[in-house]
Amino acid sequence: MRNKNLVILTIVVAAFAAYILLFDRHRPTTEEVAAKEDRALPGLDRENVQSVELTSETGYVRLDKHGDTWRLIEPIDFPADSAQVDSLLGSLESLDVDRRLSVDEIDLAEYGLTSPSLLVAITDNDDERTEISIGEELPLGSNRAINLGSDEVFIVQGYFAANVSKPVDKWRSTSLVTLTPGEIASFDLVTNYGHVHAVQVDDEWSLLQPVEDLGDPEQFRNVISDLNAVEIVDFVDDPGADSSMGFDQPRYQITVLPGAHKEPIVLEFGATRQVEDKTQVACRRNATQTFWVTDRAETGLGKAPVRWRSQMIFPFDSWNCDGIAVATDGGQVDIERIEGIWRFADGSEANNSEVLSRLSKLSQMRAIDFDLVAMSPGELGRVTLTLKTAQESADGEPTVLTFLRPMAEGGNVCLTVSGRDTVMSVDPADAAAILEDLDALSPAPVPEQPQEDIEGSPTG
């Protein structure tokens, strides 16, 4: 009987603990409830706000939420600075009431509420609209009176009013673009130096212009990062200003396809100017929006088109390799990774550290020259790599790297890689580190131990 009561008591305690864990711990504390009762807008939750309308001496501004970002709707259509909107809503959400007054007991004109200087209207997810009238600063302090259309007037600290009365440009986003490197499908750059065009598939960049070859992923990442860091410092809303900003012959024109089902972004960079010893660049976005921006992207965009070509002969992740075969005049080895262990064709173990060392050197090998004529006395050797495909983690078509003998003693080694339509050259020492001393791929022999007797002493 005692055991039965103990089981029942255990179940009750477990249920109570679960209730506290799942429900009660999320309930506001007494202090939180009291603090919310002192709020001017206790029902405001900034996460549920869908629209904000502001009226001040600077004009009328409307901001609407689209997904997780804010956008200016009036007086212009433009991406909004979401941080600024969140700051405004945060100040309203935490606005405390210092005093409560009845509308019947005061003169609204004395508090600036007969013709309020500032108006805020907030609409939430349920289409419930809250209108806030904000009076002038009160004497002997920065407090203000606000009214929500009820029979009460609240006296609150007036720090939030500065957010309400900002001009429209302060609500605009100052980010020129927001690009996610891995999602970009294509990148096109036209400069005075030439044309760069590339596409990205499965995180790999392929150049189409100025040559068809492997693109340098670091170069693309750096330029995209620089474009994301470009800030708008001056909005130019005068259509006639374009004629003097160098867009008739832009120094750089970029077309980026951010990803599937997204509209292209076209950026033109024109004239430059000096403002307080800083260089600003004229920029036009999608042929309709004109700004002066910081020069953060100038260096990366100004590189010669050939610099966008990958200097790596065949960049790959050595941990993604399941097989390597090396063939030279001195012999051939075939090594396969089986259940994480590198083995020869006969099943014996290979020297794991030596295999990984050669794979690492191959993945980091850099070309000295491109587009050479393959006039060689013959081959030095071949390396065949088997890599897993990105889609199904299955072995794809092997990649063959063919090393060609130098034309002259001490010359560079020529090299071709399947999938790259070019003949490259590499340092002879780099080629030797891959092709020579194939015996090092086998484990070092274990030295024989001297015979010992049971006590551990050598037998005599």
Domain ranges (residues) in the chain: 36-171, 181-308, 318-441
Nearest to 262 by CA among 184, 190, 173: 184
Q: What is the pLDDT of residue 285?
A: 96
Residue 336 has φ and ψ, to the nearest 5°, of -130, 140
Residue 335 has φ and ψ, to the nearest 5°, of -125, 135
- Which fold is adopted by the domain 318-441? Immunoglobulin-like (2.60.40)
Strand partners, 59: 56
The alpha carbon of 426 is separated from its chain's Cα centroid by a whole number of angstroms, namely 34
Q: What is the pLDDT of residue 91?
A: 94
Task: For the chain, list residues with pLDDT below 70.
Answer: 1-37, 389-396, 444-460
Q: What is the pLDDT of residue 393?
A: 46
Residue with tokens 């002259």: 408
Q: What is the pLDDT of residue 18?
A: 61
**Class level of CATH domain 36-171:** mainly beta
SS3 of residue 299 by DSSP = helix
Q: What is the pLDDT of residue 17?
A: 61
Say how far apart CA 254 and CA 73 lie, in whole Å: 27
Question: Model pTM?
Answer: 0.77
Q: What is the pLDDT of residue 216?
A: 95
CB neighbours of residue 240 within 10 Å? 7
pLDDT in tens, 209-221: 999 999 999 999 9
Q: What is the pLDDT of residue 397?
A: 83
pLDDT in tens, 106-122: 999 999 999 998 999 99
CA angle 25, 28, 32 (to 5 degrees): 140
Q: Specify burial of residue 242 (Cβ count, 10 A radius: 0-12, 13-18, 19+).
A: middle
Q: Does this chain's domain 36-171 share its CATH topology with 318-441?
A: yes
Q: What is the pLDDT of residue 203?
A: 87
Q: What is the pLDDT of residue 373?
A: 87
CA distances to 207, 268, 312, 369 from 196, rounded to whole Å, are: 8, 15, 18, 19
